[in-house]
Amino acid sequence: MIKFFHHLFNPHCADCRNKEEYNKICNSCETLKNQLEKANYDNKRLLDQIILLTNPKTEIVTAQPEETTPIFSMGKTWNIRKAELERESRNTAELERRKKLEEAQLKTATQIKKTDENRITELEKELEIENAAN
């Protein structure tokens, strides 16, 4: 705001003229900047070429990634351990069930045999037959 009033009341003061001249870009300076930029670019390209000539390209060999197999720790995972425990439990339950079934079959067979022997003895008593062995 102050700058505006200063320029309004003193349009051509010496300080303002010096600032304008300082901020004004001259053509020769611009030309020199462009030439310096181009020279720097050329120098960089030449330096890169020299570096490439002194250090020959080495062919980078990349190794093919091998198929990796996961390394299992010495301990078993819980899922594997759980499956083994369940399998063992089923096997023991099956053995116990078979044992009970065999015992039941043996018990019924002995009961049948005893009942048959009792019937035979009753029949022998009724018929008054003595043992053939006597």
CA distance 41 to 44: 5
CA distance 48 to 75: 57
Rg (CA), the chain: 57
% of the chain beyond a pLDDT of 70:
87
Domain boundaries along the sequence of the chain? 15-51
- The per-residue pLDDT for 64 is 77
53-83: pLDDT as tens digits: 888 666 676 777 777 777 666 677 889 889 9
CA distance 134 to 131: 6
31-61: pLDDT as tens digits: 899 999 999 999 999 999 888 888 866 667 6
